[in-house]
């Protein structure tokens, strides 16, 4: 639930221009304020220590947002953007302040089709580059359709990471 309310707020702010306002919710009053505009198809985001955050866009862009300004992060793995595929989720682990590691899920084209993949890399101190990016997991077998990639990545309290993947258009594999 803690990630759900901010996620809803960012999505609302990216769809329609809003001035700051307070809305009632089952959890109490929620202040809605636009913090970033001009997004194409935002998919995921996560907060960084110190108040910034990272946003993925399906077209393969990873944005670092701090102090009201967004800059594109280089070093993102090559992303397959056909259909529903693209750069999907981003997760900043609890040990980010020490490790600088960031996790991304995305659609990855390979021989025979497209997969949902998980990668990690280290975010530079200035937030402009991912370095040491490597593929940690790739779902198989490859799919020929461009749909149902999933995907979310979360960190459990014990530090294990979990990702969700879609059936990629192959219902029997669900």
- Active-site residue set: 148
Structural contact between residues 73 and 129, judged by C-beta atoms closer than 8 angstroms: yes
Structural contact between residues 48 and 6, judged by C-beta atoms closer than 8 angstroms: no
Spatial distance between the Cα atoms of 73 and 34, rounded to a whole number of angstroms = 21
**98 burial via Cβ count (<10 Å: 0-12, 13-18, 19+):** exposed
């Amino acid at each position: 639930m803690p990630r759900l309310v901010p996620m809803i707020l960012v999505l609302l702010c990216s769809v329609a221009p809003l001035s700051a306002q307070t809305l009632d919710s089952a959890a109490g009053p929620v202040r809605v304020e636009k913090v970033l505009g001009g997004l194409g198809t935002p998919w995921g985001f996560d907060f960084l220590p110190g108040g910034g955050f990272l946003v993925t866009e399906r077209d393969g862009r990873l944005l670092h947002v701090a102090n009201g300004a967004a800059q594109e992060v280089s070093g993102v793995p090559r992303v397959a953007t056909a259909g529903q595929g693209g750069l999907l989720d981003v997760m900043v682990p609890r040990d980010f302040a020490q490790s600088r590691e960031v996790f991304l899920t995305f659609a990855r084209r390979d021989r025979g089709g497209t997969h949902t993949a998980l990668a990690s890399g280290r975010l530079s101190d200035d937030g402009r580059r991912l370095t040491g990016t490597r593929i940690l997991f790739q779902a198989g077998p490859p799919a020929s359709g461009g749909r149902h990639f999933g995907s979310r990545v979360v960190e459990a309290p014990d530090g294990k990471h979990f990702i969700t993947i879609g059936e990629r258009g192959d219902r029997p594999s669900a």
